[in-house]
Amino acid sequence: MLAIKITKKQEFSIWNSCFLFLAALAVSLGISAVLLMMHGKSPLEGVGLLFKGAFGSPWAMEESLVKAIPIFLCSLGVATTFRLQIWNIGAEGQFALGAVGATWLALLYPDLPAFLLLPLMFLISLAAGGVWGFIPAVLKIRLRANEIIVTLMLNYIGILFLEYLVYGPWKDPVSFGFPMTTQFSAGAIVGTIGDTKINWGIVLCLAFGLFVWIMLRYSRVGYELKASGENVKAARYAGLPYDRLVLSVMIFSGALAGCAGFLEVSANLNRLQPSIIVGYGYTAIVVAWLARLNPLFIGVASFLLAGLKVGVENIQLELQVPAAFGGIMEGLILLTVLAGGFFTQYDIAIGRKG
Amino acid sequence: MRKFMFFLLFLLVFLVGGAGAAEKEMKVGFIYVSPVGDAGWSYAHEQARLAVAAMPGVKTTYVEAVKEGPDSERVMLNMARKGYDLIFATSYGYMDPMLKVAKQFPKTVFMHCSGFKRAKNMGTYFGRIYQARYLSGIVAGSMTKSNILGYVAAFPIPEVIRGINAFTLGAQSVNPAVQVRVVWTKTWYDPATEKEAAKSLLDVGADVITQHQDSPAAQEAAEERGAYSIGYDSDMSRFAPKGHLTDPIWNWAPLYKKLVEEVRQGTWKSQSLWPGLAEGIVGLSPFGAVVPQEVRNRVSVAKNSIIAGKMKVFAGPIKDQKGTVRIAKGAAASDKELLGMTWFVKGVVGTTE
């Protein structure tokens, strides 16, 4: 009788996992191509259009990069909490709060010069997002409230708070009653680099990315994080300050998402409106898993997923596939890559029983 | 092997990039805020796009479910870069992104639906759907027995408020005792929420349900309880075969075909267009079997006087909920007042927040 035997791998090879990642990507593209075929569209043309729309020209690259910025920041944050096995799925709400905080200052002091206003907006967005991460952390530590539920619920509260403001007190008096604030003054807008559409927020991304990488690799906190993430009980027994770690990663994660909200509202929208909420906080979770919580890979995966979102529009435009196709592809990539991850950790042997 | 695959991929990208440039035809792009299959707002625009696509020498495309922020700007840029001659953006929130893109592509013509900002190469258009809402109000006011009409409302913005007011005025014109109860869902398309909202209205005694959202969920809720319903955007009778009365509907095709022709001839000018019943841009879908002839006649009389310009929907005296006269006797609301309407007429139960 044939039996399937699954054993845990003894060693972990980076090349092996790179290969599996590419293979998984190819499988998901293959399934997408089949879906295109079922729609009566040429699959090769479709996949070609996807790449062309996402990375096929300088401006397509720019658009993908611009979209990757908020995804990267949110993802970097949630990945840090995931390392500690704390499941912050509240980046969406933290993003909203950051945008609200930055907008508050932009509306309060429109006449401040940019070199004062922008740093202030940046700091307050960190604080606002951080508070939205602090609340579930405290509830978890003090009341043992499940952080998954609390962060998820806080998403709704954060977004509704944003909507309350733009429908009510912050509504632009000349917008005919439409929910949006007035346009920001020039001093409240993060500029773009040269003639490109890429805003200076990308520098913040690099700085934060480097910071997380160094922290994880060389600092004591990084070590404590990894150790506690592997085994909470052992870590507590060893005297690691678990509660303090939970608190700091949640605040850090919230602050990063808040910063993403600031950049989005300031650089890309130039005003606050409900359509700022497009699900970056949830995409960030997908990215964090695809990247296996590694800061460098998060950068790559953010860019790829942003490119996917941008490229799918190109397929839509040229071949008129439904918009849902993009969501399906995103789901397929996540599924295949996560499923592929199984093979990096386990060996499968098919042999005779006995 | 892998190298070979990469080579193939590059070749493919190259080939796709090189193709294209054939004979000159007019290219028209559409941007929708929701999926086209929703039987609602975007569906109505999509029907008109298909009519445009059937014109000789015209190529069309669309991108659906485009969010109203930076995403929409990118889609418009994308279309403009690909050499589209005319771009329609069919949601209010596309206004500022479109203005930005219009400045970068002065040779492309941009048409924005429901906004108020224009440029030399960017015009605006909308339809006076409130006229059709008024007519549907006549039907609702005639059919109700409880004198409570339920309105599942989308967002508290002038467009929606105007529709609720027009519906109420129409109902009051045949039944002064009628009241219109409003529930906000703050959604354009969320069938589950909208169905719940419709149920809450049925619970307080409404026996005719209408809505502003693009899903037929409110119709389904009414049908399940044996109440009457009035849809929106397109003919929604198939979702409530028994209780369906009619729908205020959009018919964008004549306007879109006219604009495409104007751009092709070079006669297009940036204007603010607001056609209505008279131009056939808005109307009512066929009545359900339960609507008696007498009611149909009433609607037809009102329709003809609106078309002939003898009657205006927002003609004074009109009081607001507090009883203050907002539009004086002998006057009629100007277009500017209509576009900025943020108050309910007397007879509406609910707040504009």
Average pLDDT, chain A: 90
Residue of B nearest to A23 (CA): B2
**For residue B92, pLDDT beyond 70:** yes
| β partners of residue B233 | B249
Contact A51 B70 (CB under 8 A): no
- The CATH classification of domain B25-125+252-278, taken from the options 3.40.190.10, 3.40.50.2300, 3.30.70.1400, 3.40.50.720: 3.40.50.2300
Chain A interface test: which of B28, B43, B74, B165 (most A C-beta within 10 Å): B74
Which chain B residues are Cβ-neighbours of A176 within 8 angstroms?
Answer: 116, 157-158, 339-340
The DSSP code sequence of A61-124 is HHHHHHHHHHHHHHHHHHHHHHHTT-----HHHHHHHHHHHHHHHHHH-TTS-HHHHHHHHHHH
Can you tell me the distance from the alpha carbon of A252 to that of A132, in angstroms, rounded to the nearest whole number?
10
Cα A60 → chain centroid: 20
**For residue A326, pLDDT beyond 90:** no
Average pLDDT, chain B: 91
Smallest CA-to-CA distance from B282 within B143, B162, B179 is with: B162
Residue of B nearest to A174 (CA): B340
- Locate B254 and state its tokens: 């004549």
Tell whether ipTM is more than 0.95: no
Q: Which amino acid is at A140?
A: K
A248 to chain B nearest CA, in Å?
32
Residue A353 binned pLDDT confidence (cut-offs 50, 70, 90): low
Q: Which amino acid is at B46?
A: E
Q: What is the pLDDT of residues A231-273, one digit of tens each?
A: 888 888 888 899 999 999 999 999 999 999 999 999 999 999 9
Backbone angles phi, psi at A152, to 5 degrees: -60, -45
**For residue A208, pLDDT beyond 90:** yes
Residues in chain B: 353
Contact B157 A178 (CB under 8 A): yes
Between B114 and A175, residue with greater pLDDT: B114
Is the distance from CB of B198 to CB of B222 less than 8 angstroms? yes
The one-character DSSP state at A183 is P
Contact A322 B29 (CB under 8 A): no
| Window 62-91 of A, Cβ < 8 Å to B | 63, 66-67
Q: What is the pLDDT of residues B134-160, one digit of tens each?
A: 999 999 999 999 999 999 999 888 889
Smallest CA-to-CA distance from A306 within A24, A62, A36 is with: A62
Tell me how far CA of residue A284 lies from CA of A53, A253, A257, A268, B55, in angstroms: 21, 11, 10, 19, 44
Q: What is the pLDDT of residues A149-177, one digit of tens each?
A: 999 999 999 999 999 999 889 988 877 77
Q: Which amino acid is at B248?
A: P
**For residue A211, pLDDT beyond 90:** yes
- pLDDT for B20: 42
Q: Of A6-10, A65-69, B102-106, which range is least confident? A: A6-10
Mean per-residue pLDDT for A291-315? 91
Q: What is the pLDDT of residues A94-105, one digit of tens each?
A: 999 999 999 999
A316 touches chain B (CB under 8 A): yes
Chain B interface test: which of A20, A47, A275 (most B C-beta within 10 Å): A275
Q: How large a percentage of chain A has pLDDT more than 70?
A: 96
B74 to chain A nearest CA, in Å?
7
Domain ranges of chain A: 1-41+323-354, 61-320
- pLDDT for B6: 55
Domain ranges of chain B: 25-125+252-278, 129-247+285-349
- pLDDT for B19: 44
A314 touches chain B (CB under 8 A): yes
Can you tell me the distance from the alpha carbon of B179 to that of B176, in angstroms, rounded to the nearest whole number?
9
Which pTM does this prediction carry? 0.86
- pLDDT for B230: 97
Collect all residues with Cβ–Cβ distance below 8 Å to B156 and sequence separation of at least 6: A167, A177, B184, B342, B352, B353
A51 touches chain B (CB under 8 A): yes
Name the residue among A47, A56, A268 with its Cβ closest to that of B17: A56
Backbone angles phi, psi at A87, to 5 degrees: -100, 85
- pLDDT for B7: 54
- pLDDT for B18: 43
| SS3 category, B272 | strand
- The CATH classification of domain A61-320, taken from the options 1.50.10, 1.10.8, 1.10.3470, 2.60.120: 1.10.3470
Mean per-residue pLDDT for B252-264? 95
Name the residue among A275, A320, A322 with its Cβ closest to that of B61: A320
- Locate B323 and state its tokens: 């009883």
Would you call B352 exposed, middle or buried from its count of C-beta atoms within 10 A (0-12, 13-18, 19+)?
buried
Residue B214 binned pLDDT confidence (cut-offs 50, 70, 90): confident
Residue of B nearest to A175 (CA): B340
Q: Is 3.40.50.2300 the CATH classification of the domain at B129-247+285-349? A: yes
- pLDDT for B5: 55
Mean per-residue pLDDT for A320-326? 86
